[in-house]
Amino acid sequence: MEPGEAAITDSAELVTTVLDVLHNEIDIAIVDASVEAHMLDHLIYHTTPRVAYPEPGPHRMMIAGRTCLAGDVFGEYGLSTPLEVGSEVRIADAAGYTMVKKNWFNGLSMPSIVVRRLDGTLEQVRQFDYQDFKRSLS
């Protein structure tokens, strides 16, 4: 076991919103994030990230990223409710390798970093913009 794994497991989520839903043998929800850009560790290690919300259930859906990459798929899930445009999807365990391997693939913005305080308030501690993207170029 990695020493840092105990400290980060269940400590961060990638919060996404469904942009579109289509059907191709299975319902596919396109979210405003990307496996390639935001959770590259899962693409590299051929693992499927766990969905923290919505809860598991009988509705089979594929969750995919919004890039042109054919493999930009978070995975297939059984969810408690069918996803529709505007639905929130929370991908679990978005810390550790996820934070250090994120990139600007296809120009996608990095997700903002938001902390939920013990009293339940949310504090945005970092937001990324075009200047950050520009600084990251060689």
Q: What is the CATH number of the domain that holds 63?
A: 2.40.37.10
**pLDDT of 18 over the 90 cut:** yes
Q: Is residue 124 assigned to a domain?
A: no
52-101: pLDDT as tens digits: 999 999 999 999 999 888 889 999 999 999 999 999 999 998 876 666 66
Q: Is residue 16 assigned to a domain?
A: yes
Q: Is residue 77 assigned to a domain?
A: yes
Q: How many CB atoms lie within 10 A of CB 117?
A: 8
Q: Is residue 129 assigned to a domain?
A: no
pTM of the prediction?
Answer: 0.78
Q: Is residue 93 assigned to a domain?
A: yes
Q: Is residue 52 assigned to a domain?
A: yes
25-61: pLDDT as tens digits: 999 999 999 888 878 888 888 889 999 999 999 999 9
* pLDDT score for 128: 83
Q: Is 29 exposed, middle or buried (0-12, 13-18, 19+ CB in 10 A)?
A: buried
* pLDDT score for 84: 97
Domain ranges, residue 44: 5-106
More confident residue, 103 or 65: 65
* pLDDT score for 46: 84
Q: Is residue 130 assigned to a domain?
A: no
For 98, residues 6+ apart whose C-beta sits below 8 A from its C-beta are: 12, 14, 38, 39, 40, 41
